[in-house]
Structure 1
Amino acid sequence: MSIYEFTARTIDGEIQSLSIYRGNVLLIVNVASHCGLTPQYGDLESLYRRYRERGLVVLGFPSNQFEQEPDDEATIKAFCTRNYAVTFPLFAKIAVNGPDTHPLFAYLKQQQPGLSPDGEIKWNFTKFLVDRNGRVVSRFAPADTVGAIEREVVKLL
């Protein structure tokens, strides 16, 4: 199994295969608009703009798992565009834990379980770094800033 075998619904409602990102370095993040960490959207966008020409793609997956993303996709998209000028790909809301966990996040957690024995995501803005071959190489905690993980991103580029 590889990251490229998964599909997800975009924020605009279209089913998209992750295979379109083959050959890129991916930073996959569960995001939320009503969270104390929401300003990370701006940092993620800055990182994306700095390195997208070198092959970095940030993928944002809104989740209401922690009751911090109650809005619908259109509202989320407008919020991200208006407040943080987000241009990186955003996807439809998903579950990152529990019985309805999106298959992509089940895979990410299996590959990089973090400090939790069951791999559960503890909060918004957990970040998974995927190399150009589709291997999940690192997991970063919500409080890990983009600045703190940038070195790892650059090594893969």
Structure 2
Amino acid sequence: MKLKTMALALFTGFGTLGAAGNATAQAEAPSFTFASIEGDTIDTAAFRGQPVLVVNTASLCGFAPQLEGLQKLHEDYGPKGLVVLAVPSDDFAQELDSAKEVSEFCTLTYGITLPMTDITPVTGENAHPFYKWVKEQTGFAPRWNFNKVLIDGAGNVVETWGSFTKPGSGAIRRAFEPLLPGA
């Protein structure tokens, strides 16, 4: 399945996480757009009302087999409302050279049909605004590939996980399942 223009401007009503992990109201959330791996735009507004699992990926990373788990989540829970968004990044020098190579690798090796951004910085001064926002809200920034950020349908950061937490883990499923529309 080809990803065409999708909207992704992360929700109104974003919250901030306090020290205890409680969300507090904030005026209006910023909007975020990503370049898609196919050259279109992903705007997070299209995902409003749905939980979104955002994962920074890298094709040449030892954690790349997690792409299979991300695809499985997309297939099993996408019809129920979960959005799994892969954000290929070369911040840790483990991504292929072009979006075309990444797309071909992910499609041929893992059968990826979930939404993917173009190769995007996720750390430091050049980090995508989404990742800067997550860091401002929670203090979390990817320390390696395959870090995960779960956003609820209202735009709150619900939870973050590092590379070692697999996409299909009980911790991740327990966090997003109650957020699915109609749950």
TM-score, normalised to structure 2, is: 0.78
Amino acid at match of 1:131: D
Query: 1:139 matched to which residue of 2?
Result: 160
Q: Is the 8 A contact 1:8 1:17 kept in 2?
A: yes
The answer to whether residue 47 in structure 2 is matched with residue 21 in structure 1 is yes
The answer to whether residue 103 in structure 2 is matched with residue 99 in structure 1 is no
Query: 1:31 matched to which residue of 2?
Result: 57
Superposed structure 1 runs of 4+ greater than 6 Å apart = none
Q: Per the alignment, in what secondary structure is the counterpart of residue 146 of structure 1?
A: coil
Q: Per the alignment, in what secondary structure is the counterpart of residue 149 of structure 2?
A: strand
Q: CA–CA distance in 1 between the matches of 2:157 and 2:54?
A: 10
Cα deviation for residue 120 of structure 1 reads 3.2
CA radius of gyration, larger in = 2
Q: CA–CA distance in 2 between the matches of 1:69 and 1:109?
A: 22
Q: CA–CA distance in 1 between the matches of 2:75 and 2:55?
A: 16
Cα deviation for residue 110 of structure 1 reads 2.1
Aligned sequence identity (%)? 36
TM-score, normalised to structure 1, is: 0.91
Q: CA–CA distance in 1 between the matches of 2:110 and 2:129?
A: 28
Task: Give the alignment partner of residue 121 of structure 1, picking from 120, 132, 142.
Answer: 142
Q: Alignment RMSD, CA only?
A: 1.3
**After superposition, what is the alpha-carbon deviation per residue over 1:126-147, rounded to whole angstroms, capped at 9, x for unaligned?**
0000111111111011111123
The runs of 5 or more residues in structure 2 that have no matched partner are: 1-8, 12-30
Q: Per the alignment, in what secondary structure is the counterpart of residue 58 of structure 1?
A: strand
Structure with more of its chain in helix, by fraction? 1
Task: Give the alignment partner of residue 112 of structure 2, picking from 86, 92, 96.
Answer: 86
Amino acid at match of 2:10: I
Cα deviation for residue 16 of structure 1 reads 2.7
Query: 2:138 matched to which residue of 1?
Result: 112
Cα deviation for residue 3 of structure 1 reads 2.2
Q: Is the 8 A contact 1:112 1:137 kept in 2?
A: no
Q: Is the 8 A contact 1:73 1:93 kept in 2?
A: yes
